[in-house]
Amino acid sequence: MKLTPLDIQHQQFRVRFRGFDIQEVDAFLEQMAEAFEAMQEESARLNDTILRLQREIRGFREREDSFKRAMLNSQKVIDQMKDNARKSAELVVADAELRAEKLVQHAHGRLVRLHEDIAELKRQRGQIEVQLQSIIDSHARLLELGREEMRAKDDQDAKLKLLQQSK
């Protein structure tokens, strides 16, 4: 059964001889409804944040895959260039060797830049994961603090009931 703040506000209790103070019960239900509504809003906000961060991670992964494909394509291009250079070298050996060396250097520089870009994306992904874990941990701590507060309030309520019963 899913409980809403409205359910808490509209909860009715039977009144019996020497029963609960209706105003206190109503005030408590109102407080509970407000707290419950705030928790629902916080939960929704956190879910939105998680979805947004998951979309960002997905985007980073897509970019990483794109860089990997570009790197593989660059390697294929380099291999094709080398083959073409060997064929051309048969006709003009000295000139072809010079051009092939320049192309390999250029491709290697591009490959190095792609590796650096991939390393940077991995570093950013790690930072995002750390941030997400930090957010999750802090919210877990907040939930635990809320539970501890509720336990303390429950203990206080139990003590008050015992005191009232002993009077």
Global model pTM greater than 0.85 = no
CA dist 5 and 8 (Å) reads: 5
Who contacts 142 (Cβ-Cβ below 8 Å, separation ≥6)?
none
Find how far residue 144's CA is from the centre of its chain. 20
CA dist., res. 148 & res. 133, Å (int)? 22
pLDDT in tens, the chain (167 residues): 577 778 777 777 776 767 777 788 888 888 888 888 899 999 999 999 999 999 999 999 999 999 999 999 999 999 999 888 777 767 776 776 777 799 999 999 999 999 999 999 999 999 999 999 999 999 999 999 999 999 999 989 888 888 888 76
Name the strand (E) or helix (H) holding 116.
helix 93-166
Residues 25/8, Cβ–Cβ less than 8 Å: no
